[in-house]
Structure 1
Amino acid sequence: MKTAILSVMVIVMAVAAQAKGGLDNTIRPGEIWPDDKGVHINAHGGGVMEYKGMYYWFGEHKSDNTSAALVGVTCYASKDLVHWKNMGVALSVSDEPGSDIERGCTLERPKVVYNPATKKFVMWFHLELKGLGYRAARAAVAVSDKPAGPYRFIRSGRVNAYRYAEGVTRDDIAELETIRLNEYEWWTPEWRKVVERGAFMQRDFEGGQMARDMTIFVDDDGKAYHIYSSEENLTLQIAELSADYTFHTGRYVRVAPGGQNEAPAIFKKDGKYWMITSGCTGWDPNEARMFSADNIFGPWTQHPSPCVGPNAKLTFGGQSMYILKVKDKFIFMADIWRPNHPSDARYIWLPIEFDAAGVPVIRWRDSWNMD
């Protein structure tokens, strides 16, 4: 009896220490993660940016009963990646009727990067206009002079209008222009073949490419790239951003055409690019995918899932969100979605290991220490 009481006391003290920002530097994947006020962190589908020794975690603010954006993008700050201070709302939704970011829109997967040339913090996110479901498929951008905001919304829209993907030849264009998607029954082998060839890219040539689940990656040379799920979530695209990170240059490639990948998370180690993605199963988890390339524009090679351990076939119940580099280490971040109670969605943070061949491995741990 005494042993049981003592065990309960130890658990309560550990949780209380973490809630109060104590000395407990333990990450507990999938559990409640309290901020400096003891409230579960509300920053879903986001990413982490380091600036001058401080880490800033941006994410979607989720309400209790809806995944629609009623607040905006929240920001938390930390020096140790374990204890987080709530910095408030970095980007607020608008109460102006007809605004792109009108309250009730869908605002997902915000990522923030710092541009040293302009000294601006640039936020990109996936945006769906209020009342249109997922038909808009836009990318949106906002900027700020301070890491935690407030961010000023600039614009939203489709990506790279009147541009074909790199590697598409004149002959390809001529052939694509003859394709009429309504002549094919969806999900048939014939339909899949024309999708892989670029039928949706051709369909959206004038209006711009669809851009949904996304991330932003800044390479060693300072160039930034927008990686997003496009072509009805059937094909990933990687697009180069302008020098100030707020526009697309028009250069982009298609990755895994027809493969149905979303939730891209990317990192670079020893000159090789690695990308972890998810299949498209709505809010339900599925098995993670992994790709590698020696050049960010490809070609990209697919590998088996990097996940190992209990529930690895379902990515431990989560979906990839971001990969953070900390010195020479990498942390895989994922969300456990709770569509019936969005604000209770949980986070999976796990260290990335590498096997003898240098291939990433993500091993489940009930807890691990950031030290």
Structure 2
Amino acid sequence: MRRAWLFVLAVLIGLLPQTLLMGTAHAATVTTPTNGTQFTDTTGAVVHAHGGGVIKVGSYYYWFGENRNEDNTFRYVSAYRSTDLKTWEFRRHVLTQATDPELAVANIERPKVIFNSTTGKFVMWMHKENGSDYNEARAAVAVSDTVDGDYTWQGSFRPLGYMSRDITLFRDDDGTGYMISAANNNRDLHVYRLSADYLTVESRVQLLWAGQLREAPAMFKRNGVYFLLTSGATGWNPNQQKYATASSVTGTWSALQNIGDSTAYGSQTAYVLPVQGTSGTEYLYMGDRWGNSFGQNVNASKYVWLPLEFPTDTTMTMDWFPQLSIDTATGKVDGVGGPWESLAARHSGKCADIPSKSIDNGIQLTQYTCNGGMNQAWWFKDLGNGYVQLMAKHSGKCVDVADNSTANGNKIIQWTCGTGTNQQWQLQDAGDGYVRLVSRLSGKCLDVSSASTADGAKLIQWTCGTGTNQQFKRGA
């Protein structure tokens, strides 16, 4: 059963001291790594910040998260920093098994860091278990004088005697700190007001959605409206994320509403990061695609980051994009790609498809009954030279002639997008709204092998002819 959890913590930009807020502006627009992959740091090592949260100090965003052993037990809370939300520099393991005897055999999940402007301390809250079963259900606290220094263990406890699992923090505009956690075996969500030093809870101010099995909370505030985003409790497997709104943390919350697709695009809420810049503030969903959900472990988990949109002050939507464009100077967060179109073979009426929605390099394209899936959606990216690249929406990878071959029958695959001519296609009018796709590399046409009409028939390249198995219609 998944012991994985949200990484949402409140970004305290406006409440940090001026000495922390000063920094050099970063003006570049940066495209993030491809969604549904592991990110790497400046040394090429995998970023292990699972179930984590982010705090901005000066010009840097600091990302804290879980770094586990192979058996999923606690190893480190690791810290990284970035100015552009793509280029991540490893700082240190700020909490380790050696920090305190209580951590020698433990599970630590969903660490969040918040700054206390009165004490000048950075305070980390997290969910703590004993490493052998899942019955402790305790909150834990550690503190540091610097954001990425060694954190000193303060101990673990059940807040006001209640179970505490998935956890997040939120700091309001007036400096009031809140801790939100899953309680009662994940059946409820509790919202606690923190003490003035943020080291313990002062009172429980909300019991939300009793018995509805909510976890992975993420709270943020936009235009005076509080948002609380959560997932259901389905072990490691992704599910429908929901959100609610309120005019105050302690007031009445709205009914839960769905956001994203039925699996949050294969992820679970970890954190919502406000990206504040000269043009305003936009909001970044940060989620985990847990490794345990695809037969591996927590450190094999992948990241899903998506822009949040707000049709009104109290409604929120989230769509899938294989990549994002983020400008931390202006505060702009946008999806990369689209418009997305299907590509249907004339002879069969079936769509170009990536089997099993795989995101792996080298998967051969097939045709399959059109179903509107993201693995049948393509961005015809105009290269400005008479050719296009075709990017798959679900994977962010491009239609590619395998092995740079010019041979008839060579397979057509998806591969990481690059600049090679084996990923460049010319669209030639075939009449009646159909086109041929001609490879710049080989001069040969995208072809459904043997003119098959069966689901699963392979896509290959072949000498261009008049066959309808080489004619395709683009569709919205």
Class of the TM-score when normalised by the shorter of the 2 chains: 0.7 to 0.9
Question: How far apart are the structure 2 equivalents of 1:113 and 1:95?
Answer: 20
Question: How far apart are the structure 1 equivalents of 2:202 and 2:99?
Answer: 32
The range that moved more, 336-345 or 50-59, is: 336-345
Shift of 1:40: 1.7
- Aligned match of 1:123: 124
- Aligned match of 1:32: 38
Structure 2's unaligned 5+ residue stretches are: 1-27, 328-476
Q: 1:217 to 1:284 in 2, by over 3 A?
A: same
Q: RMSD of the alignment, in Å? A: 1.5
Q: 2:289, 2:303 within 8 Å by CA — same for their partners in 1? A: yes
Shift of 1:94: 3.0
Paired residues, what number?
292
Shift of 1:111: 0.1
Question: How far apart are the structure 1 equivalents of 2:43 and 2:176?
Answer: 38
Question: How far apart are the structure 1 equivalents of 2:211 and 2:203?
Answer: 22
Q: Deviations along 1:328-365, whole A, 9 cap, x unmatched? A: 11111110001223212011111111114651111111
Where does structure 1 differ by over 2 angstroms across 4 or more consecutive aligned residues?
none
Question: How far apart are the structure 1 equivalents of 2:323 and 2:185?
Answer: 37
- Aligned match of 1:217: 170
Other structure's SS at 1:100 match:
helix
Q: 2:223, 2:313 within 8 Å by CA — same for their partners in 1? A: no
Query: Which of the pair is proportionally richer in helix?
Result: 1
Question: How far apart are the structure 2 equivalents of 1:238 and 1:38?
Answer: 39
- Aligned match of 1:256: 209
- Aligned match of 1:134: 134
1:318 partner amino acid = S
TM-score w.r.t. the length of structure 1 is 0.76
Quick one: percent identity of the two aligned structures?
37
Question: How far apart are the structure 1 equivalents of 2:152 and 2:245?
Answer: 35
Residues 1:344 and 2:346 aligned together: no
2:84 partner amino acid = D
Question: How far apart are the structure 2 equivalents of 1:354 and 1:82?
Answer: 24
Question: How far apart are the structure 1 equivalents of 2:29 and 2:225?
Answer: 34
Give the counterpart of 2:320 among 352, 356, 364: 364
Q: 1:46, 1:60 within 8 Å by CA — same for their partners in 2? A: yes
Shift of 1:34: 1.1
Query: Which of the pair is proportionally richer in strand?
Result: 2
Shift of 1:298: 3.0
Shift of 1:288: 0.5
Mapping of residues 271-282 of structure 1, within 5 Å: 271-282=224-235
Question: How far apart are the structure 1 equivalents of 2:170 and 2:313?
Answer: 24
Residues 1:43 and 2:49 aligned together: yes
- Aligned match of 2:275: 326
Give the counterpart of 2:76 among 59, 63, 72: 72
Shift of 1:130: 3.3
Q: 1:106, 1:130 within 8 Å by CA — same for their partners in 2? A: yes
1:79 partner amino acid = T
Residues 1:82 and 2:82 aligned together: no
Question: How far apart are the structure 2 equivalents of 1:362 and 1:66?
Answer: 33
1:337 partner amino acid = W
Q: 1:90, 1:150 within 8 Å by CA — same for their partners in 2? A: yes
Other structure's SS at 2:202 match:
strand
Q: 1:289, 1:302 within 8 Å by CA — same for their partners in 2? A: no
Residues 1:240 and 2:193 aligned together: yes
2:248 partner amino acid = N
Q: 1:357 to 1:270 in 2, by over 3 A?
A: closer
Structure 1's unaligned 5+ residue stretches are: 1-22, 161-207
Q: 2:245, 2:314 within 8 Å by CA — same for their partners in 1? A: no
1:118 partner amino acid = T
